[in-house]
A and B are shown apart, each in its own frame.
Chain A
């Protein structure tokens, strides 16, 4: 995932714009290539099937050679001096705290003090950039971990099941599944469309869990 895509995903997920009361019937709409799509919450049967496939995938990966759990991968990265993920995560937390502090300082600056306003704005921008870079680094290092692969697989499966496309049929709005099966999703899904759909479904699931 590129830096800009990651930035967009983080902004989307962290965005204040997620207003729970405005989500109708547990669905989120989005547009892509001038077409309207939506993701809906999976039902119990779909969730059970997703869990079953996820477990299968996890066992498969555990049996495979050269696969590592997150903990093993973290240790390997540290032992080979590639990266200290715990340290990077600590840095990320510190940057988050720093950002909050700078916001509080900026909030109390009067309009006339333009120099101080500019100073804090620049610091905030710099901290945000550093956070994106760190997040990208952590995400890249940990992406081969079994847990991350399995989670990605789980979300991909649910996305393939829960993404629908808007169509007008005889003056009525109808919604159709975009992909008839998970295999079709894996074979034919456009990368950008699947990215938007996964992002929306993640938001929806996060909202339900809150």
Chain B
């Protein structure tokens, strides 16, 4: 049996709702729901999927990842798998970036310390 999430996802990826979602982001006059605050949990769920599928379609149009295709977007399990891989890749890149930053900081500290030592030696030598 399919749960409500299944139908919400199917609805969120349709051209109609994706167009409305993009229009609502660009133009304040376009509203997705009758209410504009106090969203129900179903509305929150729907908005989350709208935004995720919008991101996937955007990445698809820019050919950002060879593993992302229209068939992946149209299959919930494959879309979940892709989103998981995407998150892992971002996490790895972030860790790599942090490591490189840390190495640069250490190098810079080492360089400064070396500079200070050579200044001290220089002063002592001249003195």
- Against B, the Cβ 8 Å flags (1 = close, 0 = not) of A168-210 are 0000000000000000000000000000000010010000000
> Does B94 touch A at the CB level, under 8 Å?
no
> Does A145 touch B at the CB level, under 8 Å?
no
Verify A108–B67 contact, CB threshold 8 A: yes
> Does B124 touch A at the CB level, under 8 Å?
no
Question: A38–B38 Cα gap in the complex (Å)?
Answer: 9
Listed residue (B37, B45, B77) with the most chain A CB atoms within 10 angstroms of its CB: B77
Cβ-neighbour of A19 out of B44, B69, B77, B84 (below 8 A): B44
Verify B48–A106 contact, CB threshold 8 A: no
Verify B81–A107 contact, CB threshold 8 A: yes
Cβ-neighbour of A29 out of B39, B49, B75, B83 (below 8 A): B39
Tell me the B72-127 residues at the A interface (CB within 8 Å): 72, 75, 77-78, 80-85, 88
Q: A8-B3, A11-B3 are in contact. Are A106 and B44 (CB under 8 A)?
A: no
A124's nearest neighbour on chain B, judged by CB, is B77
Size range of the interface on B? Answer: 20 to 34
- Chosen A-B contacts, 28 in total, with CB atoms closer than 8 Å, are A16-B52, A16-B83, A17-B48, A17-B49, A18-B48, A22-B48, A24-B39, A25-B38, A27-B38, A30-B41, A36-B40, A38-B38, A100-B84, A103-B81, A103-B85, A104-B85, A104-B88, A106-B77, A106-B78, A107-B81, A107-B85, A110-B67, A111-B71, A117-B75, A117-B78, A120-B81, A125-B77, A200-B41
Cβ-neighbour of A107 out of B5, B52, B84 (below 8 A): B84
Q: Using Cβ atoms and an 8 Å threshold, which residues of chain A touch B39?
A: 22-24, 29
- Against A, the Cβ 8 Å flags (1 = close, 0 = not) of B5-46 are 100100000000000000000000000000001111110110
Verify A108–B41 contact, CB threshold 8 A: no
Chain A nearest CB, measured from B76 CB (Å)? 10
Question: A121–B75 Cα gap in the complex (Å)?
Answer: 10
Chain A nearest CB, measured from B111 CB (Å)? 40
> Does A34 touch B at the CB level, under 8 Å?
no
Question: A23–B37 Cα gap in the complex (Å)?
Answer: 9
Cβ-neighbour of B81 out of A18, A24, A38, A106 (below 8 A): A106
> Does B47 touch A at the CB level, under 8 Å?
yes
Q: A103-B85, A104-B85 are in contact. Are A22 and B77 (CB under 8 A)?
A: no
Chain B nearest CB, measured from A103 CB (Å)? 4
18 further contact pairs, Cβ within 8 A, besides A106-B77, A108-B67: A11-B5, A15-B5, A17-B5, A17-B45, A17-B49, A22-B44, A28-B44, A29-B39, A30-B40, A38-B38, A103-B80, A104-B81, A107-B78, A107-B81, A107-B85, A121-B77, A124-B77, A124-B81
